[in-house]
Amino acid sequence: AQSVAQPEDQVNVAEGNPLTVKCTYSVSGNPYLFWYVQYPNRGLQFLLKYITGDNLVKGSYGFEAEFNKSQTSFHLKKPSALVSDSALYFCAVFGYALNFGKGTSLLVTP
């Protein structure tokens, strides 16, 4: 079974600091990994994906993620957080559909 885990319910970061939102995966075969963001009362927006190739994936809004096969991780990162980045972030793995992690709430304080 394809699954992902997000170990943190909430991440707090000061504006301007780097941020990391963690995700680990458990798959058989090659993983198709995704990050989505959900702003309050909104749908899910695609940030980035890893299918194959370069382990550092760049996505929307200045986000990037690093695929690490040995640690089975796909952490989301941003060098300098903005208050407007505050939202709910989902890691997901694609099997026949997207299997989502439980979500991590990111709070960026001014």
Rank residues 42 and 69 by Cβ distance to another protein and give the closer one: 42
Q: Which stretch binds another protein (CB under 8 A): 18-26, 56-64, 74-82, 94-102?
A: 94-102
Ranges within 18-37 binding another protein (CB under 8 A): 32, 34, 36
Residue 9 per-residue DSSP state: S
Please enumerate in sequence order all residues whose Cβ is within 8 A of that of 70, keeping only pairs 6 or more positions apart, or say none: none
Compute the least distance from the CB of residue 16 to another protein, in Å: 27
Site for another protein contains 103 (CB under 8 A): yes
CA distance 80 to 36: 19
Query: 5 with 103: CB under 8 angstroms?
Result: no
